[in-house]
Structure 1
Amino acid sequence: MAHTLSLSRLPRPSLIFAAVLACAAGGAALWAQVEGERGIAPIASTGDIDIGGIEVDVRGDNAEDAREKGWREAQRKAWEKLGGPSISDSQLQGLVVAMVIEDEKIGPRRYIARLGVTFDRGRAGSMLGASGRGPGSAPMLLVPVTRSAGAYTVYEARNPWQRAWAEYQTGSSRINYVRPSGAGGDSLLINFGQTGRRSRLWWRNVLDQFSAADVLVPVAHLEYQWPGGPVEGTFTARYGPDNTYLDSFAMRAESPEELQPMLERAVARFNTIFERALAEGKLKPDPTLDLGSVEAEPALQRLIEIGRTALARERAAAAAREQAATQEAAGETPAAPDQPEQPVQATTYSVQFATPDAGAFDASLAGVRAAPGVRGTAVTSTAIGGSSVMAVTFTGTLDQLAAALRARGFAVRQSGNSLAISR
């Protein structure tokens, strides 16, 4: 595990990522599935420039002198790797805010290490000729999958692959990563099975829980050759609700002690793959993710309502003229025409619906949205295997909504100002 020695400031408190799942029944069983130590909070990201994997091998008068020379050499190599101009060591040290020790061996007069150097973007940006690296991506939900001994793990238990992503400094990346902590209900909402689902409605509701636009899936397949022996890793980058392939590569750790450094290097390589895909235009948010929740803009919705009101008035006037003509033919005094009915205001009602599986979840949402008078729906609670809840905006009364849902084939139960439906 890498250790960071900050030269100017300490990391800010980690952001909290959690998804709250509400379930009407089986609460004790649900708690049993999510309790325990499984969450790893991601570190707070900054806009600093990180350069890692710098190898140094220097000698000095003593261990302390060798280490100091090694750090100065790592700073120069990192600056050259970054493409910076020629500056003095004192100027260079003024740009460095932290040294990251990835691995080091200290002898009486020799220092061998693999280091990372963090430069302050504000101070180094002017010398590099740019303060940024181009436009960033939309918020992308990260789902780090580990395959080991035939089992696939995401957040069900703490694992080295999850830790490597949680400790990755994303501030200098063009990818806007959304990294759940894995605590609480995250392990139920995001798992390996979710990466194989193609339902846009289901994916949209998962992404909404984390305010993300699309999904990235870095897969690490780890094979332990024998206990205490080498670990071979095959890494695959995928993205989107269709689990689309991007790239893959392989790495090898000679011992379990070298596994975490190998995974940290793999994370940096994944970031390069994702940034390249962004530059090629592949990481644009999938437009089909919005198909299940498209609603008209307020201006367009107002025009639709005006059109419906005008049509209702025309029909009422035509019916009044027809009634007047009939009464005149019969010698009766025409009655005063009825006033056209005022349009009914849209009201939001709470509807609970049974969701034994993802298919029932999608079918119920589609059925409610297709009911006459429904202007929009929003899922407020998701519980696959139990009962979920949605807020339904309907032009009419609760009794009229119940009648419309019965016409769509739902069994409807009314309780107070809410409904419960099932098929």
Structure 2
Amino acid sequence: MIRLFLLILALVAVPLRAQETGGGGAAYVIGGIPVDTAARNTYEARLAAYAIARRKAWPMLWNRLTGMAENSAPRLGDGALQAMVAGIEVEGERFSTTRYIARLGVVFDRARASAYFEGTAGSLHSGPMLLLPIFTDGGTRTLYQTKTPWIAAWARFSEGLSPIDYVLASGSAGDNVLLTAYQTQRGERSLWRNILNRFGSIDVLIAEVRLVRSFPGGPVSAEFIARHGPDATELGRLSLRSTTDGLDAMLDQGVRAIDNIYAQALREGRLVSEPDLTAELEPIISLAPDIAGPAFAGGATIEADIVTPDGKAYAEIEALLRSVPGVSGVTLTSVSLGGTSRVAIRYTDTPEMLRYQLDQKGLRLADTATGVLLRRRVTGDVPVPAPVVIPPPIAVPGAPVPAGAPATPPAGSLPAEAPPATVPQAPVVPPPGDRPRERERERDRRERPPPRPAAPEAGPIDLLDGTQPR
């Protein structure tokens, strides 16, 4: 009867403990702590295991958040540790009447534990890093195209205890187009810059796991590789082995191991982003004139949002824009396939003329609360009237100066830096008899032979005798 009661208590205690870990980022979690205790009964053995897990987890938390050695952690008693711990997670357990064997996770309350890390943990946090978890199973490399166990393991991982600020994609249709396993092998910086700008990140981290199954239903071996940057620079790797039933537990252990590799690289200064990957587009965009403002003499630029459900839709819009008269360039500043992209349009005419030319091509610039939206013309849109082009005024000598025009400076009042005016000299005209061209013409007339007299007109020729009548 006592054994049955203890078994029911163990089954009920685990969900209650798991509920204590809620809070969404309000706790630090240290998992994967092995314990093996023995006592008079299972209940006392479990309590002893919890105490041992708290003592082991505290130095590990200190090392993860400060980068210092575990033996340098402050010495805290069981009462202080129990007050700082919000709960215990049971990742796996086995027990008998006197022995308790388990793998536990300790959940530290962030508010209570933060007092011990003031001035030490803040400098170890990285900027936002885009995480690409690649899952290789059966020779197929998958990223966000399907919900893999590797993505689920990273979703279970608590980022509160890591100095790395991971950014996970949602796996939408647009993400599947941009984020592929092949993309991790491409070093093109311009494309990576657009991807990082889409997710608000400063760099990319590639966490890959390769599964090798001995036989269907048999043991599974996994190789975990941590890479960094567009060139996929390897930072470290490790291998683990588990059975099929323990696949999730092995992947959770691999997540913690890869996070340790990234944290160690951050402490050693190897997790540094390239300067050209973090090029800010805001200074360039902020210089673009408003569509309602006057254009510059040499042209102007307007930034507009466009809806891009796929790559083909953007290609059609770009080709249509380049065919608009007065548009001198089209630049994609932010790509979001499946969402809204941003494009910069350079034009040489006035804003009114740009709107008119776009309307002739079936496009419209619509003002929104967040900027300007470039869309196709729909039924019911009023046609944009052609702007009136006023030619510049022509200056007429002696005409009165219009009001507001700059007055002509008086004669003799020149700027100090202007050179003195020079009076042009009248050309020297030779006398009539001494002009070279007239002398040559006169010599030609004298040396020209007299004209030959014209021959008399011949009469008709008699074709019979060949004589010409007189």
State the TM-score, normalizing by the size of structure 1: 0.66
CA distance in 2, matches of 1:185, 1:170: 25
Tell me, yes or no, if structure 1 residue 52 matches structure 2 residue 17: no
The CA deviation at 1:203 is: 2.2
2:57 equivalent in structure 1: 78
Report which structure shows greater RCO (CA 8 Å, sep ≥6).
1
**Residues 146 and 219, structure 1, Cα contact 8 Å, conserved in 2:** yes
1:289 equivalent in structure 2: 277
The CA deviation at 1:204 is: 2.5
Amino acid at match of 1:392: A
Amino acid at match of 1:391: V
- Over alpha carbons, which structure has the higher Rg? 2
The CA deviation at 1:414 is: 4.8
**Residues 5 and 99, structure 1, Cα contact 8 Å, conserved in 2:** no
Amino acid at match of 1:287: P
Query: Is the deviation greater in 104-113 or in 393-402?
Result: 393-402
**Residues 58 and 69, structure 1, Cα contact 8 Å, conserved in 2:** yes
**Residues 303 and 342, structure 2, Cα contact 8 Å, conserved in 1:** no
Amino acid at match of 1:136: H
CA distance in 2, matches of 1:355, 1:223: 36
1:136 equivalent in structure 2: 125
C-alpha distance after superposition, 1:96-118 (max 9, x if no partner)? 11212122102122100111212
CA distance in 2, matches of 1:127, 1:350: 47
CA distance in 2, matches of 1:274, 1:79: 20
1:323-334 correspondence runs (5 A): none
Amino acid at match of 2:106: V
1:163 equivalent in structure 2: 152
**Residues 75 and 117, structure 1, Cα contact 8 Å, conserved in 2:** yes
Tell me, yes or no, if structure 1 residue 63 matches structure 2 residue 42: yes
The CA deviation at 1:191 is: 2.1
**Residues 144 and 180, structure 2, Cα contact 8 Å, conserved in 1:** yes
1:118 equivalent in structure 2: 107
CA distance in 2, matches of 1:118, 1:193: 38
**Residues 375 and 394, structure 1, Cα contact 8 Å, conserved in 2:** yes
1:108 equivalent in structure 2: 97
1:268 equivalent in structure 2: 256
The CA deviation at 1:267 is: 0.7
1:379 equivalent in structure 2: 334
Q: 1:347 to 1:293 in 2, by over 3 A?
A: closer
Amino acid at match of 1:60: A
CA distance in 1, matches of 2:159, 2:185: 27
Structure 2 spans left out of the alignment, 5+ residues: 1-13, 63-69, 290-294, 366-373, 377-470
CA distance in 2, matches of 1:205, 1:172: 29
C-alpha distance after superposition, 1:18-69 (max 9, x if no partner)? xxxxxxxxxxxxxxxxxxxxxxxxxx434x3332222211112222222112
The CA deviation at 1:89 is: 2.3
Local SS of the residue matching 1:108: coil
Local SS of the residue matching 2:248: helix
Query: Is the deviation greater in 160-169 or in 285-294?
Result: 285-294
The CA deviation at 1:161 is: 0.9
The CA deviation at 1:71 is: 1.0
CA distance in 2, matches of 1:124, 1:355: 48
CA distance in 1, matches of 2:355, 2:280: 22
Local SS of the residue matching 2:182: helix
Query: RMSD over aligned Cα, in angstroms?
Result: 4.1
2:225 equivalent in structure 1: 236
C-alpha distance after superposition, 1:180-207 (max 9, x if no partner)? 2435543333221221233333222322
CA distance in 2, matches of 1:69, 1:175: 33
**Residues 59 and 110, structure 1, Cα contact 8 Å, conserved in 2:** yes
Tell me, yes or no, if structure 1 residue 415 matches structure 2 residue 363: yes
2:190 equivalent in structure 1: 201
Q: 1:252 to 1:92 in 2, by over 3 A?
A: same
The CA deviation at 1:263 is: 1.1
Query: Is the deviation greater in 204-213 or in 215-224?
Result: 204-213
CA distance in 1, matches of 2:304, 2:104: 58
C-alpha distance after superposition, 1:341-398 (max 9, x if no partner)? xx8775445678994599x89x98xx99xx9866975336436xxx996432545446
1:276-315 correspondence runs (5 A): 276-290=264-278, 295-296=283-284
Query: Is the deviation greater in 262-271 or in 86-95?
Result: 86-95
Local SS of the residue matching 1:182: coil
Tell me, yes or no, if structure 1 residue 11 matches structure 2 residue 22: yes
The CA deviation at 1:224 is: 0.7
**Residues 305 and 340, structure 2, Cα contact 8 Å, conserved in 1:** no
**Residues 174 and 337, structure 2, Cα contact 8 Å, conserved in 1:** no
Local SS of the residue matching 2:123: coil
Number of residue equivalences: 334
1:251 equivalent in structure 2: 240
CA distance in 2, matches of 1:398, 1:121: 55
Amino acid at match of 2:140: A
Amino acid at match of 2:169: P
Q: How much identity, in percent, do the aligned residues show?
A: 32
Tell me, yes or no, if structure 1 residue 187 matches structure 2 residue 198: no
